[in-house]
Amino acid sequence: MLKHKYVLDPWSIIENQYDSSNMIDSESIFSLGNGKIGQRGNFEEDFSNNQTIGNYISGIYYRDKTKVGWWKKGYPEYFAKMVNCPNWNKIRISINNTLLDLNKCEVLSYNRELNMKEGWCERKVLLKNDKSEKIEIQSKKFISIKRENLGVINYKIKVFENNVKVEVLPCIDVNIRNNDSNWNEPFLETIESLSKNNLGIVKSNIINSNFEISTFFKTEYLINNKKINSSYSQSESKHLIGCKSKFLLNTDDELTIFKVGGYVNSNDSNKNEFNNIIEKESENALKTGFNELCKENIDEWSKVWEHSDVIIEGDIKSQQAIRFNIFHLNQTFNGNDPKLNIGPKGFTGEKYGGVTYWDTEAFCVPFYLGTKHSSVAKNLLNQRYNQLDNAIKNAKNIGLNHGAALYPMVTVNGEECHNEWEITFEEIHRNAAIAQAIKKYINFTNDHNFLDDEGIKILIAISRFWKERVNYSKVLNKYVILGVTGPNEYENNVDNNWYTNYSAKWCLDYTINQLSEIGNRNVKKHESIIKENNLNNKEISNWKKIIKNIHLPYSKDLNIFIQNDGFLNKDLQPANKIPHNQRPINQNWSWDRILRSPYIKQADVLQGFYFFEDHFTKKELQSNFDFYEQFTVHESSLSACVHSVLASSINDIEKAYEYFVRASRLDLDDYNKEIKQGLHITSMGGSWMSIVEGFAGVRVSNGKLSLNTKIPNNWESYSFKLNVKNRKLSVLITKQETKIKLLQGKEIDIILNNTEITINQ
């Protein structure tokens, strides 16, 4: 049985074992954020073992010049990477002239708790330093939801002897670099720094960009809970910006360092106003006091949970996991700022640059649609709309014209920006995920205005891309799509990836249908769309030809769609034949071996069955599921959730549950042995999908909401809320029944387990 590293608890993640060499993993788990700023769970004091200090601001990025062996025309110029900012979290402490460093102490007891209900993290450590002096430290911190620029730390030091000299340096550490840098260059430079008494400010410029940020902190000291004045002297370290204070403590005295800090940035505020904002916000926070700030934040979190909690009775492992996922999704993105998006690792790690992937549309939009106001998902889609011109440029760059738009696989402002061609750029399937998100948004919200004014333009441009990207094969007498990578990144530059080809066909078909839907609803609007987009019958009939005649590789013998040309030539040994010590294969096998193996990184054909489920029979789903599952190694976080939803569809609840646990506990139980790199934030939306779309079978199609409910064996019940069609519903599913209540909005007809019912209270 898998041993869980963190204590099982419905609302908290608790670490009660201290392992000095392994803190880097827990730093990811204990990350904090508020959708705008965030940080890894670093200790405040010095720590000389493995760690990755990380503080990030959403939307603030560096253009890291692309690094490839041999430059070829069409490669993206740069990889956009969020910047690891100066660390305001730091507090250097020395006790009787010895630097406090847990790595050099004997830790007598250790407990760290991430309280997800209330949004704070607390660490309590009892230790003996190398002079055998006993000390207790306790640090409680959070990033404020209400005060978006601000984090708060209450750090306590208790001593057990008389005349203990404690020296404290709350500061900003400017000696921070991004770990994931192509050329080992710094991403920012200090413009000015200031430290005066209890205040520190560092103004930095993000190199080669217009972004400026200011990192700041302000502190207050208390002894035995009474505010005290202290004297200050400048830090001697060039990279630690702040002032030192000295204290003499006696037995049982407790010194508290109340530190507020964070960032202001030029995306939100005028550079000339930085200092005023800092002064106002930090002063106000100090006046408010730690307890009040914490209470204010707890109130904000209770509002978040009110809408997005999923309650599972009977299985604490699942309960903890789904809350961990929902908590981190909310820490990463709250939808308040239409400029921001969701990086695959949020603020918890630098891999993937912290910018936008197809993950947003395919795995996060459903969660935000279901749990937040519809404007949040709309903002995400509007970002793509606002980047349409760049997507058209992107297609032009690879020689595709006539209004074709290729959305970037990785982007922050609509420009394609990453390092790798075969993996990433060739994944043109991303265009379809955007169209899918539009479909889901329209189905969930009935927002026809968005379809008419923005959505349809995106759909037309995407359809034009597929038209330009296919070519006619005289050999097959079919349209083909060559040289792509499907969602399975363990095979590159393949021809006729079934998922990509099917998605192309669907996009064309959906666009035509939406055009006629608009025509039926509003003839004038339809005419203006046709005119504005220069659409004519010839173009549409070309699309129809492709729809009818695109190559969809299929094996009659196996009764499956073939992942791509040549897939069946592989040595088709199931993944359970791979020795345990060679998993994950991406950490153990050569790239060559992976590429020629039949092993599938993540759902590929099955991703298609997820999106296009209603185009196929359950029998077709079952045979494709059975065939592809055996080769799938789930080395992408985005895999298990899709398998879970599909397993629910074919009524294999045991399997659906296994995949749900794998998806939702991926980070807590570190399935892929990579947790130190950060959490898999975007796939956390997939964990929610596994419950809501999987077990509860929520769908909106043909204008109607339907549920097809199931419940894992070991759950007594589960419940969640859902925003759909301008209503808010609550859904409770037990082994015996499903109860749906209308919390907000007009009565609604739905289909529950194949029976039509009206929900009116």
Burial class, 20, CB count within 10 angstroms (exposed 0-12 / middle 13-18 / buried 19+): middle
Are 388 and 459 in contact by the 8 Å Cβ rule? The answer is no
Looking up tokens 């508020």 gives: 34
Locate 591 and state its tokens. Answer: 């790239």
Q: Tell me the closest approach of the beta carbon of residue 671 to ligand BGC, in angstroms.
A: 14
Minimum CB–partner distance for residue 211 and ligand BGC (Å): 23
**Of 516, 470, 530, the residue nearest 496 (C-alpha):** 470
Say whether the peptide bond before residue 584 is cis (omega within 30 degrees of 0). Answer: yes
* Amino acid letter, residue 702: N
| Separation of alpha carbons 155 and 138, rounded Å | 6
b vs e for 137-164, b when ≥16 Cβ sit within 10 Å of the residue's Cβ? Answer: bbbbbbbbbebbbbbbbbbbbbbeeeeb
Q: How many helices (H) and strands (E) does the chain have?
A: 21, 32
C-alpha–C-alpha distance, residues 237 and 167, integer Å: 14
Q: Which is nearer to ligand BGC, 151 or 487 (CB)?
A: 487
Q: Please check whether residue 599 is in contact with residue 585, taking contact to mean a CB–CB distance below 8 angstroms.
A: yes
Minimum gap (Å) between residue 411 Cβ and ligand BGC: 12
Smallest gap from residue 420 Cβ to ligand BGC (A):
11
- How many other β-carbons are positioned within 10 Å of the β-carbon of residue 618? 12
Angle at 318 between CA 315 and CA 324, to 5 degrees: 140
Q: Which is nearer to ligand BGC, 567 or 718 (CB)?
A: 567
Is the CB of residue 439 less than 8 Å from the CB of residue 368?
no
- Give residue 602's region: left, alpha or beta (phi > 0; psi -120 to 50): beta
Cα–Cα distance measured from residue 380 to residue 357, given in angstroms and rounded to the nearest whole number: 12
> In angstroms, what is the minimal distance from the CB of 675 to ligand BGC?
14
Closest approach, Cβ 386 to ligand BGC, in A, equals 21
- DSSP string across 661-730: HHHHTTTTTTTTS-GGG---HHHHHHHHHIIIIIIS--EEETTEEEE-----TT-SEEEEEEEETTEEEE
Tell me the C-alpha distance between 31 and 42, whole Å: 8
Say which residues have a Cβ less than 8 Å from residue 640's Cβ, sequence separation at least 6.
634, 659, 660, 662, 663, 666, 683, 686, 690
Q: In 10 A of CB 2, how many CB atoms? A: 9
Nearest residue (beta carbon) to ligand BGC? 344
Name which of 344 and 349 has its Cβ closer to ligand BGC.
344
Other beta carbons within 10 angstroms of residue 573's beta carbon come to: 13
Nearer residue to ligand BGC within complex by CB, 360 or 709: 360
Of 262 and 598, which CB lies nearer to ligand BGC in the complex structure?
598
Looking at the Cβ atoms of 672 and 719, the one nearer to ligand BGC is 672
Distance CA 491, CA 281 (A): 51
Fill in the amino acid letter for 199: L
For residue 307, give every residue at least 6 positions away whose Cβ sits within 8 Å of its Cβ, in sequence order, or none: 371, 372, 721, 723
Shortest gap between Cβ of 602 and ligand BGC (angstroms)? 6
Nearer to ligand BGC, 139 or 360 (CB): 360
**Complex with ligand BGC: residue 526 or 601, whichever CB lies closer:** 601
- Which residues lie below 8 Å from residue 612, measured CB to CB, with a gap of 6+? 502, 506
When the beta carbons of 232 and 357 are compared against ligand BGC, the nearer one is 357
Residue 682: CB partners within 8 Å, gap ≥ 6? 342, 343, 344, 357, 359, 360, 363, 364, 637, 638
- What is the rounded distance in angstroms from the CA atom of residue 183 to the CA atom of residue 163? 50
Long-range contacts of 523-528 (CB under 8 A, 24+ apart): 525/452
Nearest CB to ligand BGC, comparing residues 123 and 601: 601
User: What single-letter DSSP state applies at residue 402?
Assistant: T
Closest separation in Å from C-beta 681 to ligand BGC: 9
Beta-carbon-side half-sphere exposure of residue 248 (alpha carbons within 13 Å): 2
Least distance to ligand BGC from the beta carbon of 695, Å?
24
- Per DSSP bridges, beta strands 704-707 and 748-752 are parallel
Helix then strand then coil, % of the chain, to nearest 5 = 35, 25, 35
Give least dist CB 362 to ligand BGC, A. 8
Query: C-beta of 509: minimal distance to ligand BGC in Å?
Result: 24
Q: Which is nearer to ligand BGC, 489 or 667 (CB)?
A: 489
- Which residue's CB is nearer to ligand BGC, number 409 or number 731? 409
Contact positions vs ligand BGC (CB under 6 A): 344, 352, 357-359, 487, 489, 601-602, 636, 638, 682
- The CB-of-599 to ligand BGC minimum distance in angstroms stands at 13
C-alpha to C-alpha distance for 679 and 549, rounded to whole angstroms: 42
Query: Is residue 629 annotated as a catalytic residue, yes or no?
Result: no
Nearer to ligand BGC, 149 or 636 (CB): 636
Shortest distance, CB of residue 212 to ligand BGC, whole angstroms?
A: 29
Specify which residues 654 forms β-bridges with.
Answer: none
Set 148, 212, 489, 693: catalytic member: 489
What is the rounded distance in angstroms from the CA atom of residue 448 to the CA atom of residue 455? Answer: 9
The residues annotated as belonging to the active site are: 489
